[in-house]
Amino acid sequence: MPPDDVSGRHLTPDAADSGEPPTVLLLSGPNLNLLGTRQPEIYGSATLADHVRTATDTAESLGLSVEAVATNAEAEAVEAIHRARGRNRAIVVNPGAFTHYSWALHDALAAFEGPVIELHLSNPDAREPWRRTSVVAPVATGTIAGFGGDGYRLAIAAVARLLDLG
């Protein structure tokens, strides 16, 4: 059985059944809660709340909705991905530093049935050598990196295309 949400409303895996827009999990990993003040020369001055708003507004314009989860903890990120199974139609994930070593995130994403967009504000390939490995990329449908906050718009637009909505 699919999980219930906090309101106790029963959720179906297929939004077409409920008449509600398909939902996208927007998952943000460690240190992204500091956006706005964290190394603005690399990550910009927008906050995570600003990026969530960009994603939400873009989603609404394309017939989607966004559920945002932000966590600094690997276990919580894994559990958010588990909850997405049968609940969310796609995942947009900025895994932060988990990108580079979390095989637990890799395995959780591999068990998700829908499209997965890996998203980075910066372009990790143009930075320190250790950032050039992504253990998420092999289980992602595609990666958007290096476009700053515009990446959130691009990622949701990519989801809409992959779900045949836009």
* Residue 106 lies near ligand DQA (rule: CB under 6 A): no
* Residue 31 lies near ligand DQA (rule: CB under 6 A): yes
Annotated catalytic residues are 43, 120
Tokens standing for residue 139 = 């289980």
* Residue 99 lies near ligand DQA (rule: CB under 6 A): yes
CA Rg, the chain, in Å? 15
Does residue 144 contact residue 151 with C-beta atoms inside 8 Å? yes
| Positions in 33-92 near ligand DQA (CB under 6 A) | none
* Residue 134 lies near ligand DQA (rule: CB under 6 A): no
- Site for ligand DQA (CB under 6 A): which residue of 22, 114, 115, 124? 124
To the nearest 10°, report the CA torsion of 77, 83, 87, 90: 20
Does residue 86 contact residue 111 with C-beta atoms inside 8 Å? no
DSSP state letter for 135: S
* Residue 149 lies near ligand DQA (rule: CB under 6 A): no
Tokens standing for residue 101 = 């070593």
The nearer residue to ligand DQA, 58 or 99, going by C-beta atoms, is 99
Binding footprint of ligand DQA on the chain (CB under 6 A): 31, 94, 96-97, 99, 120-122, 124, 131
